[in-house]
Structure 1
Amino acid sequence: MAKLKETPSQTAGPYVHIGLAPGSAGFDIYREELGHDIAGPSAKGERIRIEGIVLDGNEHPVKDVLIEVWQANADGQYSAEDGFRGWGRVISDFDTGAWAFDTVKPGAVNGPDGPTMAPHINLWIVARGINIGLNTRLYFDDEGDTNAADPILSLVDPTRRDTLIARKQGGVYRFDIRLQDDAETVFFDI
């Protein structure tokens, strides 16, 4: 009996944005897009904006990235709150590679076994050339004490933790994601 060869792996493809975030690709097919305001316009809490760019190993912007975002509300709860969405998808700009979203700053989250996790936002990145989506977290530079006690962040090599920290610049948090090189963002195998 002949053995079949392994099927080549598939990446997200160059058209991931059309199927997963059609509004960003110019298709007006949904009543409401979910990627521009992750929390929802009536969610309680401190309104913030997060901006960044995804860079390849040569420091070039990746211009067809989809980032799925999910987070706790301002009280650190993932459960439903009237007016709080807590999930969405954003697409990088096809010319510059920049991405951004508005939300509320999440609160500290009680961990499943008791330890409190620092305020953070979960990100899942897919793009052409990425075979399996990449999971990471975004922490905030103005949460020094809670970051220091975070049980997940403490598992990361201290020399690499900085790759998970968004920096506040004016009224905006900046978080660039590096897919390769010495400053590669830490990705989690979940």
Structure 2
Amino acid sequence: MSASPTPAQTVGPYLSIGLTWDEGPLVVPADAPGAVWLRGEIRDGHGEVVKDALVETWQAGPGGEFHPAGFRGFGRCPTDDDGRYAIRTLKPGTIEAQAPHIEVTVFARGLLHRLMTRVYFADEPAANEADPVLAAVPAGRRATLVAEKSEDGYRFDITLQGPDETVFFAV
């Protein structure tokens, strides 16, 4: 019996086999009103980029509704050789007293299970302050869940381990 990991024991680096598709990062068409890019990079505990990760997003539409016409609400993007991902989507609305947010899952080499986190938006300070999930995160760690405004959308970097580790949720 071998003690070395098998493909069934890790979620990567087999992500490109059947899990990606060309339209995966394109939750909405380029001409969709309010379309924005959610971009970032994934780094490991040593600060090195993770070239073979996969980011999935799920979210509500701009009015807080699920599955509005022309909006898939689900995105999937592998990281490139520089550890970057990019998903074109719409900024979500408020859902049941929760601040606008996007649910994120990260799959990567060496992980036995996916990692779950959330993206909140820096330009929603009042909603973020009132969000019950964000409020449950220690104040000093909340910034790891907040995407900053960028030229064409938002930037959300993910750190898998270490002192700057992104907050991940056990669900």
1:175 and 2:156 aligned: yes
Code of the residue aligned with 1:105 in structure 2: it is K
Are 1:43 and 1:84, in contact at CA under 8 Å, matched by a contact in 2?
no
Q: CA separation in 2, counterparts of 1:118 and 1:64?
A: 31
SS of 1:41 mapped into structure 2: coil
2:153 is the counterpart of 1:165: no
Q: Report the CA distance between 1:136 and its aligned residue.
A: 0.2
Which residue number corresponds to residue 148 of structure 1? 129
1:76 aligns with 2:69: no
Unaligned runs of 5+ in 1: 1-5, 24-32, 111-115
Q: Distance in 1 between matches of 2:148 and 2:18?
A: 32
| CA pair 43-156 structure 1, distance change in 2 beyond 3 A | farther
Q: Indicate the SS of the match to 1:59.
A: coil
- RMSD between aligned residues: 2.1
Equivalent runs, 1:16-27 vs 2, <5 Å: 16-21=15-20, 23=21
Question: Residues 51-104 of structure 1, C-alpha deviation per residue, up to 9 Å, x if partnerless?
Answer: 1001001100000001111100010112x22111000211000x2111111111
| CA deviation profile, 1:12-46 (whole Å, cap 9, x unmatched) | 1322122211x4xxxxxxxxx342212x2289652
- 1:82-121 matched pairs, under 5 angstroms: 82-93=69-80, 95-110=81-96, 116-121=97-102
> Partners of 2:23 and 2:134 in 1: how far apart?
28
Q: Which amino acid aligns with 2:85?
A: W
**Aligned match for 2:48, one of 37, 60, 70:** 60
SS in structure 2 at match of 1:160: helix
CA radius of gyration, larger in:
1
Q: Does 2:9 correspond to 1:35?
A: no
Distance, in Å, in 2 between the alignment partners of 1:165 and 1:42 is: 24
Gaps of 5+ in 2: none
1-structure distance, mates of 2:145, 2:132:
14
Runs of 4+ residues over 3 Å off in structure 1: 6-9, 42-45
Are the aligned partners of 1:68 and 1:124 in contact in 2 as well (CA < 8 Å)?
yes
The whole-number CA distance in structure 1 between the counterparts of 2:106 and 2:126 is 28
Question: What letter is aligned with 1:54?
Answer: I
- What secondary structure, in the 3-state scheme, does the structure 1 residue paired with 2:51 have? coil
Alpha-carbon distance in structure 2 between the residues aligned to 1:164 and 1:145: 15
